[in-house]
Amino acid sequence: MTDWKEISAQQANEKINTEEVIVIDIRDADSYAGGHIPDAIQLTDTNAKEFFAEADKDKPVIIYCYHGISSQGAASYLTGQGFKEVYSMAGGFESWRFTFPCEP
């Protein structure tokens, strides 16, 4: 049993539009620059320490990667860091792009 939940891109979008959530992108800088979920924070090795020190661990967190695999491990890590409500987005950003096409 996991301490985080998996949600679809549609469910993530509903949460983003109805709740105050933290959205985390764990893809590389070029992928992030090429398109990301609005207001997503790109979490990297260089800003992780600051993020963990300053983030509100009581806010729901939605984390995504390319295809939804790496974000599962990251979601587990976040719950281990004290985040109370963590979601990994199934299918990652590719699912988001398919569901909500980004403007070029």
Closest CA to 68 of 101, 19, 34, 25: 25
Burial grade of 92 (CB within 10 A; 0-12, 13-18, 19 or more): buried
Is 65 among the residues known to form the active site?
yes
Q: Which two tokens stand for residue 100?
A: 């909500």
Cα dihedral sign, 29-76-88-23: negative
- Write down the catalytic residue from 41, 65, 89, 90: 65
Active site residues: 65
